[in-house]
Amino acid sequence: MTMKMLVGLGNPGEKYKNNRHNVGHLFIDYVNKQLSNKHQLQNFKMLKTDCFMNVSGIFIKKLLSGNRQLTADNLMVVHDDLDIPFGKFKTQLATGPKLHNGILSIEDELGTNDFWRVRIGVDNRGENKVDGETYSLQDFTNEELKQLQPSFEKVYKQLSLIIK
């Protein structure tokens, strides 16, 4: 049976824990809470990056290099996306946001874009356009954190179907 891997992108450390850029880490935490029977995932790995977003490719390449069962086409990367409104998401193969340094790093290191992306929308700026880098490194508000839960539930349900 083929090994699959779900990796949540984000930045390490307490300082970044609730940043919009860390929605991938937050989603992995959510999934871990949902799983009551870990044995259902024998051939499935879930991880959070332990490096800064812009060098995510190095982390992913090490994971794939260390396990012959894991290939780019069995990789699902969960990340923030400013091209998608807050609360929405897209699951797509080989296509992603206009600009995302974590995804670009992965594509550069793997030499391919042929992997799944779970693009979770974090853009809630409305009329007050703050530049993307500044905005993605800001913490979610408490209200936004609450509102993420229904979005995470929808993503989790869709991924459950894809994984099966």
Per-residue pLDDT of the chain in tens (164 residues, 90 and over written 9) = 577 889 999 999 999 999 999 999 999 999 888 876 554 555 678 899 999 999 999 999 998 887 777 888 889 999 999 999 999 999 999 987 778 999 999 999 999 999 999 999 999 887 777 888 899 999 999 999 999 999 999 998 888 776 66
Structural tokens at position 145: 């954190």
Domain count, the chain: 1
Distance set, CA 77 to CA 13, 134, 141 (Å)? 20, 22, 24
Residues 6+ apart with CB under 8 A from 5: 44, 45, 46, 47, 63, 70, 74, 75, 76
> What local confidence, expressed as pLDDT, does residue 96 receive?
76
Instruction: Give CA–CA dist 51/53, Å, rounded.
Output: 6
| Cα–Cα distance list, 38 to 41, 46, 72, 152, 154 (Å) | 6, 11, 23, 19, 20
Which residue out of 21, 25, 79, 100 is catalytically annotated?
21
Q: 3-state SS of 75-94?
A: EEEEEEEEEEECCCEEEEEC
* CATH code, domain carrying 109: 3.40.50.1470
Is residue 21 part of the annotated active site? The answer reads: yes
pLDDT at position 136: 94
Q: Which domain holds residue 77?
A: 4-163
The model's pTM: 0.91
Is residue 142 within 8 Å of 100, Cβ to Cβ? no
